[in-house]
């Protein structure tokens, strides 16, 4: 998708001006504390470290592009694994620190840090490998993969490999106490609102009742219809998990990833449990390409885990009220995720569900809207 120099493709053809994109998105990445959060994620770091160093054959003597280099870590590892040349592209002023880090680790002859957006920079040559850590919450939040696709189509050799090579989105039914908290917060906010309306009428002679509809909307959106970051315990997953999206990073197009549409089935596996909502997460794999596979296949998963949690956590989509279900009950789920009109880096989800109970009973189907903020 062609973009003019001062805009960023906004999905649905809507161009977002560069400086708005910076104010809304990029600016957090210019801060070291934010980079450090990701650099301190041992599961993430181990996966990329192993993916690169267990597969030196893909790097030694080769040219590499690191899309969104941040602190420069992946570029540095690529160079340490023997790359001939590494182009490390970073849109924010973090590039200056990446450059300093490269120099401090004596790799300035191999790693060239380039400040600019991937859609705008020009490289002197095509590359053998594109490495990038582009995954947002629930994989696609932030829509950074758009930039990886652009880089791949423009700068990856015909024989090139993608690191990671594959990505998948998963969903499962869950139980959680968060829903009760959120409902409680919502109810007390609405009580507070009603008191406020009474007082404003009494003391200030203005009747604000007509705004109650808007207040209800805003509060529902905030407490009930916005997905949450959470670090789920595996015990909270009360049924089977389903793959709702698969991406081949070598061939996926912008159109393929613009919307995520999936109909899938889940079964409850816990006896007498509560369905409080759905948890969503992702995994990526480093497999190389079929004609040129990795020696060592590496997986990075963000599934609920006791010891291997990541900074991504999982995304929780709450159901109000929770439903009492049991082992063998089936859920037929329709899922549609699209980009928000206001901000292509945020998402809107329509999640429909039909529940067929083991007893034969069919519960009233529902369809909920969620915002991934």
Residues designated catalytic: 133, 142
Residue 101 CB, nearest approach to its own copies (Å)? 6
Q: State the number of binding residues for its own copies (CB under 8 A).
A: 41
Pick 286 or 335: Cβ nearer its own copies: 286
Instruction: Give me the count of residues in the chain.
Output: 373
Pick 153 or 191: Cβ nearer its own copies: 191
Does residue number 28 form part of the binding site for its own copies (CB under 8 A)?
A: no
Which positions from 48 through 87 interact with its own copies, judged by CB under 8 A? Answer: 49, 71, 73, 76-77, 80
Does residue number 250 form part of the binding site for its own copies (CB under 8 A)?
A: no
CA distance 366 to 278: 14
Tell me how far CA of residue 9 lies from CA of 51, 149, 230, in angstroms.
30, 12, 30
- Residue 293 CB coordination number (10 Å): 15
**Rounded to the nearest 5°, which phi and psi values hold at 70?**
60, -120
- Residue 296 CB coordination number (10 Å): 15
With CB under 8 A as the contact rule, the residue among 3, 7, 24, 301 that binds its own copies is: 24
Pick 62 or 97: Cβ nearer its own copies: 97
Q: Of the ranges 19-27, 120-128, 161-169, 325-333, which one interacts with its own copies (CB under 8 A)?
A: 19-27
Which secondary-structure segment (H or E) carries 180?
helix 178-204
Q: Of the ranges 39-47, 129-137, 253-261, 299-307, which one interacts with its own copies (CB under 8 A)?
A: 39-47
Check: CB of residue 131 under 8 Å from CB of residue 165.
no
Is 24 buried (19+), middle (13-18) or exposed (0-12) by CB count in 10 A? middle
Token pair 């569900």 is found at: 353
Tell me how far CA of residue 54 lies from CA of 239, 248, 295, 298, in angstroms.
35, 21, 7, 9
List b or e across 109-143, with b for residues whose CB sees 16 or more CB atoms inside 10 angstroms.
ebbbbbbebbbebebeeebbbbbbbbbbbbbbbbb
String of contacts with its own copies for each residue 217-246, x by CB under 8 A: -xx--x------------------------
With CB under 8 A as the contact rule, the residue among 4, 12, 28, 36 that binds its own copies is: 36
Residue 184 CB, nearest approach to its own copies (Å)? 17
Pick 73 or 238: Cβ nearer its own copies: 73
Residue 206 CB, nearest approach to its own copies (Å)? 5
CA distance 64 to 112: 10
Residue 186 CB, nearest approach to its own copies (Å)? 12
Is 367 buried (19+), middle (13-18) or exposed (0-12) by CB count in 10 A? exposed
Residue 262 CB, nearest approach to its own copies (Å)? 32
Pick 6 or 265: Cβ nearer its own copies: 6
Which positions from 159 through 218 interact with its own copies, judged by CB under 8 A? Answer: 193, 196, 200, 203-211, 214-215, 218
Pick 53 or 264: Cβ nearer its own copies: 53
Residue 195 CB, nearest approach to its own copies (Å)? 10
With CB under 8 A as the contact rule, the residue among 12, 19, 187, 292 that binds its own copies is: 19
Q: Which two tokens stand for residue 330?
A: 């089936």
Check: CB of residue 29 under 8 Å from CB of residue 128.
no
Pick 45 or 183: Cβ nearer its own copies: 45
With CB under 8 A as the contact rule, the residue among 28, 105, 188, 358 that binds its own copies is: 105
Q: Which two tokens stand for residue 210?
A: 């007509």
Q: Please give the torsion angle defined by the CA atoms of residues 267, 365, 317 and 15, in that order, rounded to the nearest 10 degrees.
A: 120
Q: Of the ranges 58-66, 94-102, 156-164, 271-279, which one interacts with its own copies (CB under 8 A)?
A: 94-102
Q: Where along the sequence are the contacts to its own copies (CB under 8 A)? A: 17, 19-20, 23-24, 31-33, 36, 39-40, 45, 49, 71, 73, 76-77, 80, 97, 100-101, 103-105, 193, 196, 200, 203-211, 214-215, 218-219, 222
């Amino acid at each position: 998708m062609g973009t003019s120099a001062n805009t960023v493709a906004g999905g649905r053809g809507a161009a977002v001006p560069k400086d708005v994109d910076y104010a809304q998105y990029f600016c957090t990445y210019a801060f070291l504390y934010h980079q450090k959060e990701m650099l301190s994620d041992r599961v993430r770091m181990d996966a990329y470290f192993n993916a690169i160093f267990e597969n030196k054959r893909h790097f030694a003597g080769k040219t590499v592009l690191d899309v969104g280099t941040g602190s420069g870590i992946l570029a540095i590892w690529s160079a340490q694994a023997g790359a001939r040349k590494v182009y490390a592209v970073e849109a924010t002023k973090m590039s200056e620190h990446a450059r300093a880090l490269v120099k401090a680790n004596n790799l300035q002859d191999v790693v060239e840090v380039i400040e600019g957006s991937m859609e705008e920079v020009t490289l002197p040559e095509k590359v053998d490998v594109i490495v990038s850590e582009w995954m947002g919450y629930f994989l696609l939040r932030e829509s950074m993969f758009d930039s990886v696709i652009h880089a791949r189509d423009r700068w990856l050799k015909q024989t090139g490999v993608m690191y990671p090579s594959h990505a998948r989105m998963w969903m499962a039914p869950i139980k959680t106490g968060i829903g009760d908290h959120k409902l409680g917060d919502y109810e007390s906010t609405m009580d507070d609102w009603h008191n406020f309306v009474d007082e404003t009428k009494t003391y200030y002679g203005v009747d604000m009742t007509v705004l109650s509809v808007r207040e209800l909307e805003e509060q529902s959106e905030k407490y009930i219809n916005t997905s949450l970051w959470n670090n789920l315990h595996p015990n909270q997953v009360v049924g089977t998990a389903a793959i709702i999206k698969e991406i081949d990073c070598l061939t996926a197009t912008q159109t393929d990833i613009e919307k995520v549409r999936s109909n899938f089935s889940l079964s409850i596996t816990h006896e007498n449990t509560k369905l409080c909502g759905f948890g969503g997460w992702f995994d990526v794999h480093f497999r190389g390409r079929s004609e040129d596979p990795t020696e060592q296949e590496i997986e990075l998963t963000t599934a609920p885990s006791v010891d291997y949690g990541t900074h991504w956590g999982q995304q929780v989509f709450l159901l109000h009220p929770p439903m009492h279900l049991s082992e063998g009950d089936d859920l037929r789920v329709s899922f549609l995720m699209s980009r928000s009109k206001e901000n292509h880096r945020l998402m809107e989800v329509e999640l429909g569900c039909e529940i067929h109970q083991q007893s034969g009973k069919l519960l009233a189907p529902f369809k909920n809207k969620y915002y991934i903020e």
